[in-house]
Amino acid sequence: MSAGDSSPRVVVLEDAEAVARHAADALARAIDDARAEGRLLHVALAGGATPQRAYELLREVEGSWAHVHLWLGDERCVPEDDAEANVRMVRESLLAGERDGEPVLHVVPTPEVPEDAAWLYGLEVLAHMPEAVFDIVLLGMGPDGHTCSLFPGHPGLRVREAPVAAIRDSPKPPPERVTLTLPVVRRARLTLLLVSGEGKRDALAAALAGDESIPLALLGHDLDEVACDRAAAPSGR
């Protein structure tokens, strides 16, 4: 989003519920289209309250998801049943109901060493997508502008070859995580960022202005769409 780059589409909605509904509708359309075309759909999911609400809404959508592969954009190195685990949140929201034709959920291995977890998950990504190109990457954002587990100034931002990176000393607990890397997020066919709350307004404004101290700004023109509520919308939006 620096000078000369095309800017993402910014959709300003009334509140966080509307942002979640917007995301659920976009994902439902993509799932339906892929089913109709007879192709697989690989989706990387975000953590956070607004994405979680989107998943709760999305689970009501009817039809088979047997063609859908669900991945985690990042995960905390904790047991799968830990309250901090994104996979637990996905199971309790998006996958809580039953349907004809369940999606494939790719769980991040959680050994004690995050480098092992990142290596194993990266191998799984490449086994299903040799070029590591996701159809959709759903993103959230923290008040500091981090997305996935890519934090400002963190060495994880510099990973270029591996599809998944280990994160140690995360400024947000828990400290050990794994995350999709910046190049993988940028290669996605569609990147959709969800932002809600006044506390994220300044970081979103800085990212959209191209402030590269904000990890989201590093996506440049590869960030396709931002859906935010009025509280998070930068001035003039």
Q: Which domains does the chain have, with CATH numbers?
A: 9-229 (3.40.50.1360)
What is the per-residue pLDDT for 1?
45
The answer to whether 14 and 232 have CB atoms below 8 angstroms apart is no
Residue 20 in this model has a pLDDT that exceeds 70: yes
Residue 2 in this model has a pLDDT that exceeds 50: no
Give the pLDDT confidence of 101-140 residue by residue, as tens digits.
Answer: 999 999 999 888 999 999 999 999 999 999 999 999 999 9
Give the pLDDT confidence of 138-165 residue by residue, as tens digits.
Answer: 999 999 999 999 999 999 999 999 999 9
Segment 79-84 mean pLDDT:
94
The overall average pLDDT reported for the chain is 94
Cis, bond preceding 8 (omega within 30 deg of 0): no
Phi, psi of 19, rounded to the nearest 5 degrees: -65, -45
- Rounded Cα–Cα distance for residues 106 and 126 (Å): 12
Count the alpha carbons within 13 Å of 11 in the hemisphere toward its beta carbon.
17
Q: How confident is the model at residue 71 (pLDDT cuts 50, 70, 90)?
A: very high
Please, what is the angle between helix 86-93 and helix 49-58, to 10°? 30
Give the pLDDT confidence of 200-229 residue by residue, as tens digits.
Answer: 999 999 999 999 999 999 999 999 999 999
Segment 37-53 mean pLDDT:
97
| Whole-number CA gyration radius for the chain | 17
What is the per-residue pLDDT for 6?
67
Segment 2-9 mean pLDDT:
63
Residue 4 in this model has a pLDDT that exceeds 50: no
Pairing of strands 74-76, 164-167: unpaired
Name the percent of the chain lying above pLDDT 70. Answer: 97
The answer to whether 117 and 77 have CB atoms below 8 angstroms apart is yes
Listed in sequence order, the residues at least 6 apart from 120 whose beta carbon sits closer than 8 Å to its beta carbon are: 109, 111
In the chain, the N- to C-terminal Cα span, in Å, equals: 16
Q: E strands within 1-61? A: 9-13, 41-45
- According to DSSP, residue 150 is labeled B
Residue 236 in this model has a pLDDT that exceeds 70: no
* Helix segments in 129-200, DSSP class H: 182-187
Q: How confident is the model at residue 7 (pLDDT cuts 50, 70, 90)?
A: confident
Residue 5 in this model has a pLDDT that exceeds 70: no
Listed in sequence order, the residues at least 6 apart from 63 whose beta carbon sits closer than 8 Å to its beta carbon are: 31, 32, 35, 99, 100, 101
Nearest-5° angle of CA 120, CA 125, CA 126? 100
Query: What pTM was computed for the model?
Result: 0.95
What is the per-residue pLDDT for 97?
82
Listed in sequence order, the residues at least 6 apart from 159 whose beta carbon sits closer than 8 Å to its beta carbon are: 165, 181, 182, 183
Residue 15 in this model has a pLDDT that exceeds 60: yes
- Rounded Cα–Cα distance for residues 33 and 27 (Å): 10
Residue 72 in this model has a pLDDT that exceeds 60: yes
Amino acid occupying residue 126: L
More confident: 212 or 6: 212
Nearest-5° angle of CA 215, CA 172, CA 181? 40
